[in-house]
Structure 1
Amino acid sequence: MNTKKPSRNLRFVIIGAGMAGILSGIKLQQAGYSNVTIYEKAKKIGGTWRENTYPGLTCDVPSHAYTYSFEPNPEWSHQLPPGAEVQQYFEGITAKYQLEKNIQFNQEISRCEFIDGRWQLETKSGTKDQADIVIAATGVLHHPRMPDIAGIDDFDGAIFHTARWDHSVPLADKRIGVIGNGSTGVQIISALSSQAAKLIHFQRTAQWIMPVENPAFTEQEKEAFRNDQALLKLMQKHPDYVASVNRFTDGVSNPDSAAMQEIEDIVLANLENSITDPILKEKLRPNYRAACKRLIFSPDYYQAIQKENVHLEDQAISHIEKDGVRLKDGTLHELDVIALASGFHADQFMRPMNIIGNNGIKLNDVWASSPRAYLSISIPEFPNLFMLNGPNGPSAISH
């Protein structure tokens, strides 16, 4: 650890105690800064891994790559880690670096205003603070987006957003509908296909699915990781993973590249070779090029959607009523449980905070047409305010 004392005793405020906020706290600690507070709106750390606990939750980045470079983990159970293990990893790191002493939980920042060279902050509960530097580690997947479907409140069964999963609701032998077919919806279908009596996947837009494997690490492999630090470091930047990242980055940067052609060939072959029913295959075939939307990574969705108790519904939804989901063609799917896998308001970034920069300029006005920032990190007229995942930041990330 760097014990060099900084020349200035700067005051830092970090907003959010997810993956990025925890890392910020550690790095400031290592740089010798002690005047640091992390404000977290929830009662514990974790960000998206705290918020999401739905069945089948899995990180679609290889587990060893989804670690801090200085904190490899030899104990991952699978190639793609389950969400609970990811949350456990970050809780362990937080404890190891004794960060909880710097975190104020249940404190949601509501206002940041730059006055006389310093940021003045206020939480919803009325707590006030000042900072020389504010680091927004707010992430983009923490404001659930509810679908605009009439009748949601009329359903007699259990209905909830997937980021607010109600674990008191029994699922075995139930009739379950999943609305939304992004990564979350796909993972839930795979997880529930073996226990639901009937499982309906409501699809608005077909998705390209990148095939992946998710084997469990053997005890022999984990023992090798524990005893061989060089091997463990290699796993963090495994050549196969680095190649896939580079391929995706090259592909989205140049849609006419060989990398993009390779991506398209892989996802097309996955569809053609995995689905046997020609009608289902056409329902699952997107009408746009791969990577125009975020790719879905799944080892088993195509297998799950072909089970006898699982049905893909691509007809438009009219409304939800007390017994289930009514389609625009009049068909009623009677259900006991509806899971809304409708995603998040990914454009919120630091919203709904009221952020005011130089000379009273409001971020909501600057971003009225669309969010934008310099290198996804900083915004003109908002001095010493830095984002760790700002506008367009995730666009060239492969997973």
Structure 2
Amino acid sequence: MHRRHLSIGIVGSGFSGLGLAIELMKAGFRDITLLEKAGRLGGVWRDNTYPGAACDAPSHLYSYSFAPNPGWSRRFAEQPEILAYLEDCADAHGVHERIRFDSEVESAEFAEATGTWTVRLTDGTRLGFDLLVSACGQLSNPAVPGLPGAESFTGPFFHSARWDHGTDFTGRRVAVVGNGASAVQFVPIIAPSTSRLTVFQLEPHWISPKPDRVYPAWRKALNRRFPAIQKLSRLGIFLWFELLLNPALIAPAGRRALSVHIRALCRYALRTVTDPALRRRLTPAYEPGCKRILTSDDYYTALNGPGVSVVDSAITEVTADGVRTADGHNHPADVIILATGFRSQDFMAPMRVTGAHGLDLNSAWKDGARAFLGLAVSGFPNFFLMYGPNTNVGSGSIVHMLESQIAYIVQAARLLASGVTVMDLREDVLEGFDAAAQRRLSTTVWNQGGCDSWYLDERRRNTSNWPGSMTAYRRATRRLDPVHYRLVR
């Protein structure tokens, strides 16, 4: 039984925000507002609409455990289907009416005297909440490199996360800057219609075959009739990641085994590239797993196509009609697409967060983002993050991690509703957690694998990944221990 009314603000309506709202409602909380900057829910699955956009985690695991979808069309669901799934979940649980669309947060400030957060929107509106949760995620702000001369380019110029669906690629020369997860998905689709497609490779990736397949009608009917079958499929996928891939990324002995296996698998895929010299240029020099291993069955095939080329030389300038590289070559282009990923270290940008005693979160994180269990930061009472620092998984499904975080935040909401007005994480708890996490990360492939990845900040501090298994994270977040917090009743 809640002793006091609790108003809860959630910034974002992707997997994190929706899942949290649903579980808070199940726990009896009703005063919940989701602040969504766009006019539609969905987060990254609303924004990333480029051709071929799909998840690289199997559908049965990349979904809420409390909302299984027996009708997934294929093993790796594509963007439209994932977005429809999120909208169906919001409809089924009555979340839509709690979302305030077109409401971008400009700032949030905590008042310790009242134990409340004042949130200011970009239109000047002010809202008050007893509990504030940032559900913005790590991959919501596109990384746009400052290419000299970019403003002089006369053709379409856009980031893959802001895809221009009005651009026709037929017979046009297309420059793709970047060769990561988004590029390997859309390049094979647009390449056949172009007259020339040039991929400016920043660094080669380990790319393994994608074990995708369409689920036949009988399988979907079986899932509906016998839900346990789908649960077993989900469990099997989970155990594959937990017992094989995750230990290999973290433990030194496992790293050696993973390296041998992945190198063999990816080199098998590379055999589809007909040019031996290009095969060598597409083979990474860093250890497999240092960056997330990509999956594709058609990217390498697309690079064999007529008019498709890969450039390794760094871009020095964008001109009115193309791209110039450090080797002195000019590469004509009618369209430029940035496949340069996201600003993964900007957990809160562009929102400004001010905690107790005027402490700014950017200042608190001047030496690198850190949060206890990726959830709570000292000096920022009644405030939690989802998909915060050190909660990313190198393999597996982030949705499993999010559900662990949701369970923890629901406990925090219950504690606040019981009569606690301020709960502020103790500094020594944060310091102890962060030191242990960084110590464990120091021996992982992410830190020692010899690559530059979005897992590391400019100081090469790993602010992204969880240094253990998904099961270990579930155990660590299962019970909120009040002793970790300074409580005011």
Per the shorter chain, which TM-score range? over 0.9
Residue 10 of structure 1: how far off its partner (Å): 1.7
Asked if 2 retains the 8 angstrom alpha-carbon contact of 1:197 and 1:309, the reply is yes
- 1:309 aligns with 307
Give structure 1 regions of 4+ aligned residues with deviation exceeding 6 angstroms. none
Asked if structure 2 preserves the Cα contact closer than 8 Å seen for 1:6 and 1:31, the reply is no
Q: Say if 1:52 and 1:35 are closer, same or farther in 2 by CA, change over 3 A.
A: same
For residues 57-115 of structure 1, give each alpha carbon's deviation from its aligned partner in whole angstroms, at most 9, with x where no partner exists.
11111112111111111222221111111111111111111211111111112222221
Shift of 1:45: 0.3
Question: Aligned partners of 1:83, 1:344: CA distance in 2, in Å?
Answer: 17
From 296, 320, 323, give the equivalent of 2:321. Answer: 323
Q: Which of 25, 29, 33 is the equivalent residue of 2:29?
A: 33
The yes-or-no answer on 1:70 pairing with 2:42 is no
Q: Secondary structure at the match of 1:29?
A: helix
Aligned residue runs from structure 1 range 52-71, under 5 A = 52-71=48-67
TM-score for both structures, normalised by structure 2: 0.77
* Distance of 2:364 and 2:199 partners within structure 1: 39
Aligned-partner SS, 1:130: strand
> In 1, are the aligned partners of 2:142 and 2:341 still within 8 Å (CA)?
yes
Tell me the secondary structure at the aligned position of residue 10 of structure 1: coil
Q: Distance in 1 between matches of 2:128 and 2:82?
A: 32
For the residues of structure 2 that align with 1:281 and 1:261, how far apart are their CA atoms?
A: 18
**DSSP 3-state at the match of 1:177:** strand
Aligned to 2:17: 21
The correspondence for 1:254, drawn from 246, 251, 254, is: 251
Counterpart amino acid of residue 203 in structure 2? T
Superposed, 1:72-111 pairs within 5 Å as 72-111=68-107
Give yes or no for contact 2:263–2:288 (8 Å, CA) kept in 1: no
Q: How many residues align?
A: 394
Structure 2 residue aligned with 1:12:
8
> Is 2:194 the counterpart of 1:196?
yes
**How much does 1:259 deviate?**
4.8
Q: In the TM superposition, what whole-angstrom CA distance separates every residue of 1:273-322 from its partner, at most 9, and x where no partner exists? A: 44342101111011111111222122221222222232111122221112
One-letter amino acid of the counterpart of residue 24, structure 1: L
Matched residue, 1:220? 218
Structure with greater proportional helix content: 2
CA distance in structure 1 between the partners assigned to 2:91 and 2:338 by the alignment? 34
- Given that 1:79 and 1:214 are in contact with CA atoms closer than 8 Å, whether structure 2 keeps it comes out as yes
Deviations 1:19-40 (A, max 9, x none): 1100011000000000111111
> Which residue identity is paired with 2:370?
R
- Alpha-carbon contact 1:72-1:236 (below 8 Å) kept: no
In structure 2, distance between residues paired with 1:194 and 1:247: 37
Shift of the 259–102 alpha-carbon distance from structure 1 to 2, 3 Å rule, reads: farther
Cα distance in structure 2, aligned partners of 1:19 and 1:396: 18
Answer yes or no: is the 8 Å Cα contact 1:69–1:236 preserved in 2.
no
Bigger CA drift: 242-251 or 104-113? 242-251
Q: C-alpha displacement at 1:366, in angstroms? A: 0.6
Contact 1:271 1:281 in 2 (8 A): no
2:260 and 2:239 map into 1 onto residues whose CA distance is: 15
Rounded to whole Å, the distance in 1 between the matches of 2:355 and 2:192 is 53
Match of 1:182 among 180, 184, 190: 180
Counterpart AA for 1:294: R
What is the SS of the residue equivalent to 1:256?
helix
Any stretches of 5+ residues in structure 2 without a counterpart? Answer: 398-489
Residue 380 (structure 1) aligns with? 378
CA spacing shift, 1:24–1:240, aligned 2, 3 Å? closer
Q: Contact (CA 8 Å) 1:119, 1:131: kept in 2 or not? A: yes
130-139 or 269-278: bigger deviation: 269-278
Aligned sequence identity (%): 35
Counterpart amino acid of residue 242 in structure 1: L
Give the letter for the 1:8 counterpart: R
2:459 corresponds to: none
**Does 2:153 correspond to 1:155?**
yes
Match in the other structure for 2:388: 390
The one-letter code of the counterpart of 2:79 is G
| Correspondence for 2:362 | 364
State the TM-score, normalizing by the size of structure 1.
Answer: 0.94
Shift of 1:50: 0.8
Question: What is the RMSD computed on CA atoms of the aligned residues?
Answer: 1.8
Corresponding residue for residue 122 of structure 2 = 124
Q: Say whether 1:235 aligns with 2:237.
A: no
SS at match of 1:393: coil
AA of the residue aligned to 1:254 = A
2:404: which partner in 1?
A: none
